[in-house]
Each structure stands twice: as structure tokens, then as C-alpha cells.
Structure 1
Amino acid sequence: MSFFRYLLLLFFTLNGLAQKTQQMTHTYTNALIHETSPYLLQHAHNPVNWQAWNVESLKTAQTENKLLLISIGYAACHWCHVMEHECFEDEEVAEVMNQNFINIKVDREERPDIDQIYMDAIQIMTGSGGWPLNIVALPDGRPFWGATYVKKDNWIKVLEQLNDLYQKNPSKVLEYAQNLVEGLQAINLVENQSNLDIINSRDLGVGIKQWSQFFDKKMGGYRRAPKFMMPVNLNFLLHYGTVEKDQEILDYVNTSLTKMAWGGIFDHVGGGFSRYSVDAKWHVPHFEKMLYDNGQLISLYAKAYASSQNELYRSVVEKTIQFVKKELMAENFGFYSSLDADSINESGGLEEGAYYVWQEDELKSILGKDFPVFKDYFNINSYGHWEHGNYVLIRDETDVEIAKKHGTDQKHLKTVIANCLQLLENRRSKKNRPRLDDKILTSWNGLMLRGLVDAYRYLGKKEYLDLALKNAKFIESELTKEDGGLYHNHKNGISTINGYLEDYASIIDAFIGLYETTFEERWLSRAQELTDYCLENFKDEVSGLFFFTSRKEPRLVRRTLETSDNVIPASNSIMAKNLFRLSKILFEANYEDIAQQMLKNIQGNFEKNAQSHANWMQLALYFNNPFYEVAVVGEQYQEKAKELYASYLPNIVLAAAKRDSKLMLLQNRFKPKETLYYVCEHGSCKLPVLQSKEVLTQIQF
């Protein structure tokens, strides 16, 4: 036996022993033990015979003529954990589920294509949705019943009733499922509006006026609870308020960004944002922290800093990146998905927010003489109290006001607060940490990569660009397929799921941004290659949009067109903006034509539902207002380009080179001993200038 074969045999022997040992320590082990998703692995020792979504599971359902019970969630989902404990860990529940259903667990973050379909289905059925999302479907996947969180007794009762109905009156179930599928198809239709003009600024303003009726102008966000941060909406409004010189809109953006940064939704001790607040003042968060929120918010606050020079925004960017590096970054510079809302409390039980909250006596003990200042700064009072004596840190006064109250200056106040927060971070490090979802998702890494690029662009810290390049190289080496496409996921050195449109869209956007800061043309070339891959494999010629799944993938109940911007922009709106921006750098007229037609097909939604189409409306701003191609050519091209970074310029693309380039935008522009700026519009350029301030006078909003 060769030494290599001996090692291989030893590996499999030890691995088998490890699996047997693991199974011996648990009463139950189901098929999810073979998955890599942390969420699926959380359910691997339930008494329920869970299976992953795959061809074999669906075939089993059809062979045995059993209904599918599809349960969808994600690792950081608090109510998913609650239902698991009350239902899926219960033997009585498991017996009902195992006897009558093929039970399939889905990680919505790994399989957003499945989640989209069944989330639409439950919204048709009930008018609302959420997670955990539980669907009962025919053996072929067509849904006919759904619910979110359900208590044990009701869960058993409804499952027995549904199985009884299917056994005794299958034609009724079949009819309802078919009607529901037709509804799913209908709400996903997009007509090709080739005869329309692009929406004009006046009509765009009508939609924004309708939308603004929901603005909370005192606390930011919307006049409601819970409150989601919606960075895509604020990003658009920052752009709109700037180009339209609408001070009321800009004030609303500033209020929202300030109150979010002051609120408990921002972790003042460790940095980073939680997913949403349960109240109207951004105070008590749902404590899970998601990579996709923090990546987008880094971009947003960096742009807002460039626009306003507000030091609070700069601080938020720096602290959020610090959090991501510490808590969500892998050794290979990929970024993990999330931190759980729950952590182990002092009593040994899982508790939401246990890692983040403070008791007043605890704070007094830690902070000593500085507690009175800290108390006023972060409202250790009725305003900052949550429940059971727990406080969530929240600000509601400026540094100037607090400093004046305590007879000190702002500089000394900042030092005191910084020291206090460091002491709290030291104490927190001794607590049980929230659980980590350590799968790496391509689309979310694209959002984070774009955040790092924007942070470097507007704050000027080279360490952010260095980290961005490391992440980009990770994407190239670990998330790229042999055919040039992308994977969706990565865990333990393995990528298993083919990329969705969201993966391509976010990576293309990030690579365009990476080119605009490094001017390494390989990132632009890669963005174009991925765009062409999407045109070949995702494009729907009927609607003019892109399907969420590649034509190479097995067909589900529906092939989705994702068009509504939400906490993450719609993959189609990101793609449309990518096509527009690439057309300006590469002089690809076809790209702009496609982006324009995509916008025409969606713009009918703006007036009545602007809040769900903010990223699309930013594309409308590109078409309605001057948009510039700025070229920098000469020996000092990098330094000259950086001079423009400090300004918030949402209506430009930037290209630069030392001398020679294949890009038409940069050709025939080199002049020895000079570094020149060229400001162009639709390929027609003004006379070159030497100073960045001259460029700014040529760029109009």
C-alpha cells in the first residue's frame, strides 16, 4: 500500500469514527448533517426527518405521493429558533410530520430562488409574510397552504387536517394549488413597453411627493414600527436631493442617518448595525447583524460624508468596517453572512440581545467616575430603558449639548466616551458571543466589496482599498466557475450552488467601482465578461429583463423576475444600472439600450410605489440629468483622480490611465509632461483642464 493510499484510508477511517461519535452524542440525526449551511446544520439533530431541497427529495415525494412540507428560514432568525424549539425538536410533532410529509428545510440565504416563490405564495394566501416560512405543497412543488410561526398544538392540528384533505379530496387541493400557481405567474409578468418615453423629472417628482407622505421627519425612516433602515432608499434620496437642490429631502436624509447612527440599532460599543428596530425611535433592535445591511450602509454613510463632511458619518463608516473585519471576516478575506440575535445569557439559556444590553449597576461598576457623563450621553434613564432593567444605548443630544451640560469641551468629552466604550468592549469580550453564520455568499460579498471601495473613495484610507482588493481576489479564486460564471456560496473551501442574478449584479457593480478607484482594467474587463454571461444565460427576451436563475438551472414552479427594491436592491435594478455605467465607460451603445428598455418596463410603478423602486429611480436620474464620463490621463493620473474622490459626484463614471489604454474614453488624450482631466457627455468632450476644481465647475447637477 502506498503512503498516499494509507493516508487516504486513515482519513476516511477517522472521519467515519468522528461521524459515529457525533451521532452517538445525539438522539436523532437526519440528512441535514451532510449539508454545510449553518441554518440547516442547526436542524440536523431534530427528530424530524428533514431533507435538503434536491432532486432526490422531490422524487421521493412523487414516488410516495406525499405532500411536501417546506420550511424556510435562516441562521440569525429569532422566531425560526423559537419554532424549532417548540415544534421541530418535539417528538410528537415529528411523528406527525414524518408519517405524512416529505419534510424539506431550506436556508433562504442559500436558496433565494425557492424563498422568492414561496414568499410570494404566502403573501397571496394571507396578505403578509416572514420567517420562518412554512409551506405545504403538492409532491411537484406547487404550494396550497402556508404560514409563518405556528405554536405546537395548532401546528399538529393543521398538518393533520391538510393531510386528511389531500387523502380524501385531492382534486380540491389540486385545483387550489393550480389557481395559486397561476397567481404566482401573473404577479411576475412584466410587459415590454417599447413605445414609452423615459419617465421625466416632473413625473418622478410626483412619485417622490406621494412617497414622502410616509416620512418620519422627526426620527427618520417611516412613521411606523418596526423600522428598517432601507439604505437603497436613502441612497436615492441623497442623489435626488442633491441634483434637484431639494433641501427638504436632504434634511430628511440627514435626520434618518443621524438618528440611525445615534440609535440602539447601531452598536456603539462594537460597531455595525442590527437588522431593524422594533420601535419608532431606532432604539431596541432585532439584534441580528447582517453583512448585506452593513455593506450597503458603509457605502451610504461614506457618500453622505462626502456630501456633508459630517464627522458622525465618517465615524460610522470606520466603526462599521472595524466590526465587519473583527466579526465577519474569514482568514481568506471572504465575508461571513451574519451574527445571530440570540446568545447564551448568564443563566445558560439563549436570549435575544443578551450580548448587547447593560444593567445600570453593571455600568456604574465598570465606568466609575465617568458614569454620570456616560449616563447622559447614552440615556441610562427611562428613554434608554428596554425591559427587565436592561438598557440599550441610545443618543438624543449632540456632543455640544452634553459637553455644555457637564462643563467641559467636546474634545475632552469624546475622549471620555471613547474610554468608556473601550471598557465596555473589554467587559463584553468576556460574555458568550452570538452564533456566527459562517457561510460566504457571493452577492453579499459584492455589497461589502462595494462598501469598502466607497469607503476608500470618500474617506481616503488606503487600508480599505487593500482589504477590498483582497476580497476581490478571494471572489476571483474561490467563487468563480470554470466557465467564467459565479457560484452563490462558499463554506469550508467548497462552493456548491450556481450563482443567481443577484450574485452577478452585485459583483459587476463592485468590480466597476474597483476599477474606478484602482484603474486596473482587469476589473473592468471582468465586469464586462460577467455582464455578457448574464446576457447569454439570464436574459428574458419577452420582458426585456433578466431572470433570477440561469437557463442552465432546473425549472422550479416559476422562473422569477426580481424587480422590487427592498432591503437589498432588486437584482434587475442593479443590472440595469451596471449596463448604463458600463455603456459610458466602454462606449457600448447596446448596453445603454437594454438599460433604457428595462427602465421603461418598470417605471409605471414609480408613482404609486416609489419606495419599492428607489434603485430604478436612480437610473431615471441618470437619464434625466447630465451624466458625465470623466477621463484622467498622464503621469499623475492616480493623484489627480483622488482629488475628485472627496466630492460627492453621483452623476459621473471615472476612467484614468498613465498613458496607453484600450478604452476608447482614454485614447488619444496623452500629452507629455501634463496630466489632464477630460469631462465628456455622450462621448463629446470639453476642452481638457489641469485642475480638479475646474472639473467640478464643468460638472452640473
Structure 2
Amino acid sequence: MTKNRETNRLIHEKSPYLLQHAHNPVDWFPWGEEAFQKAQKEDKPVFLSIGYSTCHWCHVMAHESFEDNDVAQALNKDFVSIKVDKEERPDIDAVYMTVCQAVTGRGGWPLTIIMSPNQKPFFAGTYFPKTKHYQIPGLLDILSAVTEEWKKNRRDLEETGDKIIQALNKAEGEEKGIHWDTEAGFAARRMVTEAKELFQSSFDEKYGGFGESPKFPSPHNLMFLLRCYKLEKDESALYMVEKTLRYMYRGGIFDHIGFGFSRYSTDNKWLVPHFEKMLYDNALLAIIYLETFQITEKEIYRMIAAKTLDYILREMTDSEGGFYSAQDADSEGIEGKYYVFDPAETIRLLGEEDGAYFNEYFDISERPNFEEGSIPNLIKNELYEQNDSKIDDLIKKVYEYRLTRTMLHKDDKQLTSWNSLMIVAFAKAYKALNDDKYLQAAEKAAAFISNSLSKENGKLFVRYREGEAAGDGTLDDYAFFIWALLEIYEANYNSNYLDQAIKLSKIMQKQFWDEKSGGFFLTDKDAEGLIYRPKETYDGAVPSGNSAACYVLIKLSKLTGMQEPKELANKQLGFLMKHVAGYPAGHSFALMAFMMEYYTESFLCENGVCS
């Protein structure tokens, strides 16, 4: 493997992910006309690779293939290669991830697509090693086979692309909702019950969470269950929430030294995480811990929420008030190296007595729980709820020591949608914990979005980095920022935030609403046209834009009494019904909107707990 230190076109980009590939020997293009014109002119297929800067498997594929001269030679000779940051271009990612899932039945990052010069995809997959490894085809073999097929059977490849696009557009065109009325409301309540039962059937009684490993936090599922308890006094729902929240904190998915949560756990007991920390996870997890504290008044949840938010303020907040996107899983090319310890190391740092106490408390032993080190955790510690001032002091020393290690890469771009979710968390924290620093953080971040991520016409950008805002805002940006503004309004009662939310809701309707079939498109009607215009409803790592749009429209209509958002919300409820019916547990945030509407004023519970 040989690294070429010369630069390619990506050196002129702002995306941290694209800049990570600026020194590859692959002749990368950013997404744009130049790349597709070259492909047309030279009659070459397009190799599209989509990922993000803190993605472990993106790093692996980069080291194995994109830094390799053999792979670069194959790509540069027979393809036009494009790199896309999925967080900067969620529209491109959504389109081609749908393609991948339709073709292969699964998805993930890095996302690998090969298409014709007119953007018709005919091959899709995720991670591929350089050469065949077990049952995973090698990238060199794939490139060779595609090159041969492109020369001999190009028409067949293009027909495959046509069929894929036709299927996607047909599926979108068939989406028509129902009329939201009393009968639909009763149907929605049945869906709430069905979703709750689906969660119960997959609940892990020992460690909390749902299903087998890997386990994802999916905080919006817990928010839904918390509302099942609040509205129907369902003790089993609260039990699932509390069990999951406690064991996530006790495991290694929570960083007990620097605080904050990693993206997911690779095992069933939340011990070994995929170590990258994402802004959206920490925002949504802070929200559910805060809400659970408000309902149960148990100090443990307040403490975990406060630690999570303090981590964001300390390590993930820009001087202008915005929030950074993520911290990497890898340091020195090794996943998790920054986070693990061995017992001798902590004893050298803290002394014999304090080091032994620290090691026992966090289960750091001679038998490592992750490769050659131990991830601090509280799984075996039954006294984890008790305040331990000695441990608090030792954690500070270990944290300062850990800072001397090779620093983690930080994706410092600031995304409108994820910043908005964190604003919601800080606004809710102020209401729950009555600490002014949280409200100040929410207000400052909202001002940052208004000043640096908004256009003169009031429309939103996707991202900001190094003084530059870019990308046409997607549905998620509008829906989440409206939610953030409404939460701040409920915290400080400054009507300017409510007025701004109303204005953005009108832009959202004008630019994203589908007048023909109902529902909101992901992309602005004036944005770049792709092979199809997606309309997402399924909740993934964050709630879907359509679910969030419905939620904020209902919330806005209840706060203002305005008829326009109420009428649009009713149409959106009808649109979502068809999708939610197919798999209610996959649409928990939409169900929260259903519950807010179905239970009407009873849902606006005391102190704004579940509003």
C-alpha cells in the first residue's frame, strides 16, 4: 500500500470527510457538473462513494483501497470517481441509500454506487475490501467486471438503471394518505398499542434495549414508550424505558471519563461501543433522560443528562454557539484506543490505593474487555447510583491524563438539523433543571443558525464550516429547527421565537409539501434535481423529517390556535397513517404526533414534560 501525497480536487472542499481523501491517489471529484460532463465526454461509468468523516468502516475502506495505487489506477483509468459527504448532502445519500437497500436488501456506510454518466445506478453495495475476503467481493474484482460489462453489455447496464429509477418513482407516486378523522384517530390508537407490543416482544429483560446486538440507542423509541406510560399509566412501558436508560449508562457506550454517548453498542450489554460520538445521539439521549427525570424525579437521570450536556458544552460547542457534528472512533488508526485503560496505567497515574479503587469501580482488570485494554463501565457496580466524591475527583485526573493521548479527529462542521436537536435538548434542560446556562446555550445556538445558516429570504442552509454556509436546507433542517424554536419559546416566552417558527413553517409548506399525494419531500423544490425526489417516513438514527414536520405542525397549532398549521397537520397525519400501519414500531416519532393530536390537550402535560 502506497500513499500518494499529491492532492486531488477535494483539497478545495470544506467537508472534513472530503478533505480526508484529498491526498488519495484516486482522482476524486466532488459531486457536480464537472464530474458528470467528464464521464459523458469520456464515456465512462461513475464510481460514487458516500460516507462521513467519523465513520470507522469508511476509514478502513479508505486505507485498504482509496490510498492504494492499484485501486487508484483502476478507478482513474476506467471510471470517473466522486466523493460525497452524506452529512453535507443528505439528499444524495437518501437517494442512493434507497437504491442500495432496494438492490441488496441492506445499507450502510461507506456506500458504494456505480452508475452511468446520466446518474442511472446499476450497481450498489457498502464496504468492499481491496481483494476478496471471505464472502465479500474485492473492489478490484468488481471494478474489473464492471469495466468489462460496460464495454460489452452497456445497454443492459443502462436498462438496469432505468428499471431501478422507474421502481423508485412508482413507489413515490403510489403514496396517498387517508382523511384524518375520528375513525382514523381510533386506528392510530391501535397502532400505538401495536408498536408498544412490538417493542415488548423484542425487549431485552436483562440489559434493556431491543433485539440482539448490535444495539442502537434509538432515543425516539424510548420517548414514545415514555408517553405510553404518561398517557395510559402503562407501567410496563416505563419499565422498558428505565431499564434501557440505566444499562446504557452503566455500559461502555457511555464515556465515564469524558461523558457523552457513543453511537451504538456492538454487544447486547452496552459494553463495547462503536466509539464515534455523534451530536444527534447525544441530543436525543439528553432529551429522553431529562423527560424521564421529570416524570420519575429520580436523581440518576438528572445526573446523566447533565453530564451529557456538559460534555457538549465542553468539547462540541463552537465560540459562535453552534455545535460540532462528531468525534471519531479511531486514534492512531486504532478504534477505541483513546478510550481504554489497563490497570497498571491508572495505578501509575493515581497511585496504588486510588488506582486500585478506580479500577475496581470501573471494572478495569488484568483481563481486558476490549482487545488489549479495558473500557471503563459500571455493569458489575451495584452502587453506581450513589454519589461518590472520591470517584468524581479521580475521574477529573484521568480525564486530564487522557487529553494527553493522540487527539481524536473532530468533525467540526455545524449542521442545521443536528444543531436544532441539540437546541431542543438545552431548552428542555432549562425547563427541567432550571439552570440558566442551558437556556443561554439554546438561545446562542438558535442565533447562530439564524445568522450563519439562513439565507436572506429566510430559507436554510445545510451546513456551516470555516465561515462558509452551503447546501439547500432539507425537510429535516426546517422541521427540527421549528421544533427547536418552539422549545425555546416555551422556555422563555419570547414571541420572536414563535414568530420565526411560524415563518419557517410556511416556507416548509411552500417548498416541500406534495400537493398531489400529500406528505413532505426531503428536498426543496428549487434544489438540484436528482434521479428521484425522496419522501422519507421511517425513523432511522433520528426521527424522519415527515414525522417531525407533523409533530411541529400539531405543536404549533396548539400553541397559536392558528388554523393553517392545524389543517396541514391533519393532512400530514392522514399521509403518515398508511406508512405507520405497515410497521408502527418503525415510526415511533410519528406515533408521538398521533398521540399529541389524539389525546389533544391532555398531552400538554404539566411543566411541559411531554409537549
Does TM-score exceed 0.5, indicating one fold? yes
Structure-1 residue corresponding to 2:554: 580
Matched to 1:309, the amino acid is E
Match runs of 1:217-256 below 5 Å: 217-256=205-244
Whole-angstrom distance in 2 between the partners of 1:459 and 1:489:
30
Structure-2 residue corresponding to 1:260: 248
The question of whether the paired residues in 1 share the 8 Å contact of 2:347 and 2:355 is answered with yes
* 2:588 alignment partner, one of 607, 610, 614: 614
Match runs of 1:114-129 below 5 Å: 114-129=92-107
Q: Deviations over 1:95-137 (max 9, x none)?
A: 1101111100000000111111111111111111111111001
Whole-angstrom distance in 2 between the partners of 1:611 and 1:364:
47
Does 2:68 correspond to 1:90? yes
Match runs of 1:493-504 below 5 Å: 493-504=467-478
The residue matched to 1:497 in structure 2 has which SS? Answer: strand
Structure-1 residue corresponding to 2:347: 364
* 1:205 alignment partner, one of 193, 202, 208: 193
Give 1:169 deviation, angstroms.
Answer: 1.1
The question of whether the paired residues in 2 share the 8 Å contact of 1:585 and 1:629 is answered with no
The question of whether the paired residues in 2 share the 8 Å contact of 1:330 and 1:336 is answered with yes
The question of whether the paired residues in 1 share the 8 Å contact of 2:553 and 2:566 is answered with yes
Matched to 2:77, the amino acid is Q
Choose 155-164 or 585-594, whichever is displaced more.
Answer: 585-594
Q: 1:457 to 1:234 in 2, by over 3 A?
A: same
Say which structure, 1 or 2, has more relative contact order (CA 8 Å, 6+ apart): 2
Q: 1:610 to 1:192 in 2, by over 3 A?
A: closer
* 1:30 alignment partner, one of 5, 8, 12: 8
Give 1:44 deviation, angstroms.
Answer: 0.6
* 2:359 alignment partner, one of 355, 359, 375: 375
The question of whether the paired residues in 1 share the 8 Å contact of 2:75 and 2:143 is answered with yes
Q: 1:603 to 1:176 in 2, by over 3 A?
A: same
The question of whether the paired residues in 2 share the 8 Å contact of 1:211 and 1:610 is answered with no
Whole-angstrom distance in 1 between the partners of 2:6 and 2:361:
50
Give 1:608 deviation, angstroms.
Answer: 4.7
Whole-angstrom distance in 1 between the partners of 2:594 and 2:537:
15
The residue matched to 1:556 in structure 2 has which SS? Answer: coil
Structure-2 residue corresponding to 1:637: none
Whole-angstrom distance in 2 between the partners of 1:202 and 1:85:
50
Whole-angstrom distance in 2 between the partners of 1:152 and 1:299:
42
Q: 1:207 to 1:606 in 2, by over 3 A?
A: farther
Matched to 1:39, the amino acid is Y
Whole-angstrom distance in 2 between the partners of 1:532 and 1:468:
23
Match runs of 1:56-71 below 5 Å: 56-71=34-49
Give 1:533 deviation, angstroms.
Answer: 0.5
Q: 1:200 to 1:80 in 2, by over 3 A?
A: closer
Matched to 2:496, the amino acid is R
Matched to 1:353, the amino acid is G
Q: 1:524 to 1:627 in 2, by over 3 A?
A: same
The residue matched to 1:495 in structure 2 has which SS? Answer: strand
Whole-angstrom distance in 2 between the partners of 1:78 and 1:105:
16
5+ residue gaps, structure 2, are 132-137
Matched to 1:45, the amino acid is H
Q: Deviations over 1:509-530 (max 9, x none)?
A: 0000011111110100000101
Does 2:119 correspond to 1:141? yes
The residue matched to 1:130 in structure 2 has which SS? Answer: coil
Whole-angstrom distance in 2 between the partners of 1:77 and 1:543:
36
Give 1:603 deviation, angstroms.
Answer: 2.2
* 2:291 alignment partner, one of 303, 317, 324: 303
Structure-1 residue corresponding to 2:134: none
The question of whether the paired residues in 2 share the 8 Å contact of 1:192 and 1:542 is answered with no
Matched to 1:578, the amino acid is V
* 2:368 alignment partner, one of 385, 410, 413: 385
Aligned positions, number: 598
Whole-angstrom distance in 2 between the partners of 1:549 and 1:608:
24
Structure-2 residue corresponding to 1:332: 320
Whole-angstrom distance in 1 between the partners of 2:512 and 2:191:
31
The residue matched to 2:469 in structure 1 has which SS? Answer: coil
The residue matched to 2:470 in structure 1 has which SS? Answer: coil
Whole-angstrom distance in 2 between the partners of 1:314 and 1:207:
28
Matched to 2:341, the amino acid is W
Does 2:151 correspond to 1:163? no
Q: Deviations over 1:558-599 (max 9, x none)?
A: 101011111100011111111111111221223122212222
RMSD: 1.9
Give 1:389 deviation, angstroms.
Answer: 3.4
Give 1:200 deviation, angstroms.
Answer: 4.2
Structure-1 residue corresponding to 2:610: 650
Structure-2 residue corresponding to 1:528: 502
Whole-angstrom distance in 1 between the partners of 2:555 and 2:379:
40
The residue matched to 1:542 in structure 2 has which SS? Answer: coil
The question of whether the paired residues in 2 share the 8 Å contact of 1:117 and 1:184 is answered with no
Whole-angstrom distance in 1 between the partners of 2:483 and 2:28:
37
Whole-angstrom distance in 2 between the partners of 1:331 and 1:290:
19
Does 2:79 correspond to 1:101? yes
Matched to 1:115, the amino acid is D
Match runs of 1:466-505 below 5 Å: 466-505=440-479
Choose 203-212 or 257-266, whichever is displaced more.
Answer: 203-212
Structure-2 residue corresponding to 1:194: 179
Give 1:207 deviation, angstroms.
Answer: 3.3
Give 1:363 deviation, angstroms.
Answer: 2.0
The question of whether the paired residues in 2 share the 8 Å contact of 1:211 and 1:609 is answered with no
The question of whether the paired residues in 2 share the 8 Å contact of 1:485 and 1:533 is answered with yes
The question of whether the paired residues in 2 share the 8 Å contact of 1:544 and 1:594 is answered with no
5+ residue gaps, structure 1, are 1-24, 345-349, 404-409, 631-643, 652-701
The question of whether the paired residues in 2 share the 8 Å contact of 1:208 and 1:607 is answered with no
Give 1:440 deviation, angstroms.
Answer: 0.9
Whole-angstrom distance in 2 between the partners of 1:582 and 1:648:
14
Whole-angstrom distance in 1 between the partners of 2:300 and 2:416:
30
Whole-angstrom distance in 2 between the partners of 1:45 and 1:389:
31
Give 1:531 deviation, angstroms.
Answer: 0.5
* 2:398 alignment partner, one of 420, 424, 436: 424
Q: Deviations over 1:304-355 (max 9, x none)?
A: 11111121211111111121122211111111111111012xxxxx111111
TM-score (norm 2): 0.94
Matched to 2:446, the amino acid is A
Structure-2 residue corresponding to 1:152: 130
Structure-2 residue corresponding to 1:560: 534
Whole-angstrom distance in 2 between the partners of 1:252 and 1:381:
31
The question of whether the paired residues in 2 share the 8 Å contact of 1:480 and 1:487 is answered with yes
Does 2:159 correspond to 1:175? yes
* 1:270 alignment partner, one of 258, 262, 265: 258
Q: Deviations over 1:368-391 (max 9, x none)?
A: 313443333222248x83234310
Matched to 1:615, the amino acid is F
Whole-angstrom distance in 2 between the partners of 1:165 and 1:247:
59
The question of whether the paired residues in 1 share the 8 Å contact of 2:341 and 2:364 is answered with no
Q: 1:203 to 1:236 in 2, by over 3 A?
A: closer
- Structure index of larger Rg: 1
The question of whether the paired residues in 1 share the 8 Å contact of 2:26 and 2:73 is answered with yes
Matched to 1:137, the amino acid is M
Whole-angstrom distance in 2 between the partners of 1:100 and 1:562:
34
Structure-2 residue corresponding to 1:693: none
Does 2:162 correspond to 1:184? no
TM-score (norm 1): 0.82
Q: 1:256 to 1:467 in 2, by over 3 A?
A: same
Q: Deviations over 1:536-579 (max 9, x none)?
A: 11111122111111111121011010111111000111111111
Structure-2 residue corresponding to 1:8: none
The question of whether the paired residues in 2 share the 8 Å contact of 1:207 and 1:608 is answered with no
The question of whether the paired residues in 2 share the 8 Å contact of 1:443 and 1:502 is answered with yes
